[in-house]
Amino acid sequence: EVQLVESGGGLVQPGGSLRLSCAASGFTVSTYWMTWVRQAPGEGLEWVANIKEDGTEQYYVGSVRGRFTISRDNARNSVYLDMNNMRVEDTAVYYCARYQYGTSATFDLWGRGTLVTVSS
Amino acid sequence: HSALTQPASVSGSPGQSITISCTGTSTDVGGYNYVSWYQQYPGKAPKLIIYDVSNRPFGVSTRFSGSKSGNTAFLTISGVQAEDEADYYCNSYTKASTLEAFGTGTKVTVL
């Protein structure tokens, strides 16, 4: 079955760090851009970061640039999001998604998400 | 970053057609044919229902269709059904540093 499964969410204090993981199955991540999208409680979707197939390019939304790092391990068919100096406003469900980029710009496969809560 | 503008809510009776708008600018919706639409039920992950303005992924109902005019994209649900009651988000590639812009989201209610 083609799927993405996120893990690593939880409760963290402001200023703390957390690493999210996204494990892919049923397809090879090395042939796709991958992305993280988040959704704060009761709010809409917000794109967070993209990473190119080979990991040589990464892009971030301004509010996380310098604090979050997206990476990938194609050998493990996985993608990661390292979050540092976290803020209350980073509280959200974080979704990993496959990103069809080049001839399109589409998030065509989504995981179920993992909840991150930043609170003291 | 600037989100694309969608109506907060749209409603219709079963069997009616409803249309959701998604308004951006010439640097996103108007500049690229890379508009996609996502359906999200409460507590669930988003699901792709339209990509590249008007294309439907395999398995998505033909009741869903997409179009674009200038800086505004549209999602039409023809013959809306109770199962279509959900939140809908548009997305567009953008020339801005964010690269991707989501819409503000529209709650569809079937009366």
* Distance between CA atoms of residues A76 and A59, nearest Å: 22
List the one residue out of A80, A95, A98 whose CA is nearest residue A17.
Answer: A80
The shortest C-alpha distance from A17 to chain B (Å) reads 23
What residues contact B48, with CB distance under 8 A and at least 6 apart?
A: A106, A107, A108, A109, A110, B36, B37, B38, B57, B60
Q: At A107, which amino acid appears? A: F
Cβ distance B47 to A110 less than 8 Å, yes or no, reads: yes
Within chain B, strands assigned E span: 9-12, 18-23, 35-40, 47-50, 64-69, 72-77, 86-93, 100-102, 106-110
A102 CB within 8 Å of a chain B CB = no
Is pLDDT at B40 greater than 90 in this prediction?
yes
Angle at B82 between CA B13 and CA B41, to 5 degrees: 125
- Calculate mean pLDDT across residues B71-95: 96
Token look-up 């204090």 returns A13
Give residue-wise pLDDT tens across range A15-47: 999 999 999 999 999 999 999 999 999 999 999
Cα nearest neighbour of B37 on chain A: A106
B102 CB within 8 Å of a chain A CB = yes
- Calculate mean pLDDT across residues A69-96: 98
* Distance between CA atoms of residues A111 and B28, nearest Å: 26
pLDDT in the model for residue B36? 97
As a whole number, the mean pLDDT across chain A is 96
Give the confidence band of B95 by pLDDT, cuts at 50, 70, 90. Answer: confident
- Residue B11: φ, ψ to 5°: -135, 160
* Distance between CA atoms of residues B34 and A105, nearest Å: 6
Cβ distance A105 to B100 less than 8 Å, yes or no, reads: yes
Cβ distance B99 to A44 less than 8 Å, yes or no, reads: no
Structure-derived torsion over alpha carbons of residues A80, A84, A88, A92, reported in degrees to the nearest 10: 0
* Distance between CA atoms of residues B101 and A54, nearest Å: 24
pLDDT in the model for residue B2? 63
* Distance between CA atoms of residues A27 and A60, nearest Å: 25
Give the confidence band of A84 by pLDDT, cuts at 50, 70, 90. Answer: very high
